[in-house]
Structure 1
Amino acid sequence: MTIAAPLPPLTLRHATLDDLVDVLRAQHARKIDVIVPAERLRAVGTHLELAGTEPLVSEDGVTATAGRYLPTAHCDQDIATKLGIPAPYLRRTREEHPRLYEANINGWLQADPHRRFLFRALAGNGRTGIGRALLSNSYKVIDNLDVLMAALAGIKDSGVAVQIDGADLTERRMFLRVACEQIQAYAPDLVTGYRSPFSGADAAAHPVVFAGFLLANSETGDGAFTITPRLTLQVCRNGMTINRDVMREIHLGGRMDDGIVRWSADTLAKTMALVTARARDAVRTFLDVGYVRAKIAELSREARVEVAEPDKTIAFVATKLSFTKDQQQLILQHFIKGGAITAGGVMHAVTSAAQVLGDAEKAFELESRGVEAMHLAAAL
């Protein structure tokens, strides 16, 4: 079967829930998962080629799995990791010397021809598809669409009204920001002297924090399914993630035999029941005014600490947290606009800067370090 519809996008930024669901459904329709030995996998130029793999038979028809796939940047990273090739070198060979890219991959695949991998891909409009990940054959597949539907079911079961504060999709992960504006608390000490860098609104006039959490999942081997509590400032929608309270489900399972990966209905139902239960647990734990007030109290103790030398403080924080020079400059700009010369102001600068980054992965990494940035600034 040849799929005629256009290939779905691999990334989204600041998307609606409907947009996210539409893209995930389009990707799901093209999903190919194959356990393949190294002897049936080879590089041809800058593509990976599967040979002799069985077709995928579904209610939509028959889809060939044998053929060529263009690896994403994330898939290239997987290839480098699995074969012991330095990733920067492999990227360079792809860009500058495709024959070296081909020779390096094939040389290491041939060194252990019976080694098995889980290859995750999307069928293309013909014989060329997209290679998304090269994983261990013990990787437990937990797909984004299934996780999203199960988590939304858990939230609905809880009976608590929530708002979707935005969604992102990358080659590596899916993110869904959930806020609950009916669960809120005042946090005047957390926003002393702070104003929104986007609107200029004085946070002291609206010192409200909403409960919520961040749901994340990787179906390409880049981390567990997680639900992390996330507090949102009303005045600017800055998100403060409380990483130490994260709920996590690691993607590990038993080794799988060669061929198309087919999870039984019972296995899938049990996995999704666990995700639904985790979502209900998150609602019960994180969407609670007592929890929100306790976290505000913890954060406020350091947020009030004054920053004597903002330039040096932000440079120190950026170095400790491995921010890039561009990120450091952006954070400093947001710190100045925010007007709070405090450790809390540093945190708000980091989290507001994250909102304007076009790369969702970098935005996630930046926002997730906001509280840690405040701790570092307060300790100086």
Structure 2
Amino acid sequence: MKHITCIEDLRQLHMRRVPKAFFDYADRGSYTEQTLRANRADLEAIRFRQRILVDVSKRDLSTTILGEPASLPLILAPVGLLGMQHGDGEILACRAAQAAGIPFTLSTMSICSIEDVAASVDKPFWFQLYVMKDRGFIKALIERAIAAKCSALVLTVDLQVIGQRHQDIKNGMTVPPEWSLSKLFDFATKPAWISGVLRGKRRTFGNLMGHLKGTDDITALSSWISTQFDTSLNWKDVEWIRSIWPGKLVLKGILDVEDANEAAKSGAQALVVSNHGGRQLDGALSSIEILPEIVEAVGSQMEIMFDGGIRSGQDVMRALALGAKSCMIGRAFAHGLGAGGEAGVAKAIDLIRNELSVTMGLTGVNTIAEIDERVLADSPRGHNAR
């Protein structure tokens, strides 16, 4: 992968190596994809303040995330169906994250189960929870995460109503898949992907299969899932989860100051400013647009993480400058996984690490703690410091 220079290079490889239905599942957003585009455009509009003749010979990207040391302020976000981007995708991504010294978050909707991943890696990982109507199953899922020694629970709070992703419908992205001649041809032209997925431990939702009566076949499981997202989910459910989960709790999907204030009262240690990667409410604010307001409201009470549009170390720097303590990447590492398995995920992390280091050097900072609005050309603090 020596000629890979950026995340977009990995994306192009991912697109060539993985069937279109699974690539689009990772790459696309909901409805007209307005929010998906805004996440990128609003980040790219933030300009840096270049500084010169500052000693930046001792740059250090290390930080802490939820009180644990991390080699850089980056987290692999929960992404569903990683095992369909590459065989055993969740295990490979977790290994790459742990080798890089950053957290990995396993999705409820993963292909490899909690137990599969725990048996295949050396250190604890984070687990992401969707709350479904079957509360008994959710309690059992949390208890499985406890048994696997997961070091944080990430509760996704913005998916009780599912935004329609047009491309998934057009691609017949169902479980089991809707077959067509074009889809069969697409799969047939990806023999390396097919053999990798066939060698993988599973090809369906590992956390759900076999743990629910009547869902041992994939069609029944798919039908069960479609009825399970719970529109009655509310703050009392967060209290209930806290009563079961003894560890660190992160609320993912906060995009409003009022909700951030409620999150600060919930007992959670952190929140993630996120619009679900532009896959839910189309026309919502971009994550970076609301980040400073949420930091101002609750940044002194809980750890603020950022998610939405990160494709480079420069993007990480922009989010840190506006008050985030760390950033989650989803598509960026999924592109790496689809492009080259564990080595591809490692490459994605490496690209972001190197870009962040160079950007720190050219803006005159040596440590993550030094990064604030003064590194930005358009912030009042940046202008005043000249």
Q: How would you bin the TM-score normalised by the shorter chain?
A: under 0.3
TM-score scaled by structure 1?
A: 0.24
Higher strand residue share? 1
TM-score normalised per structure 2: 0.24
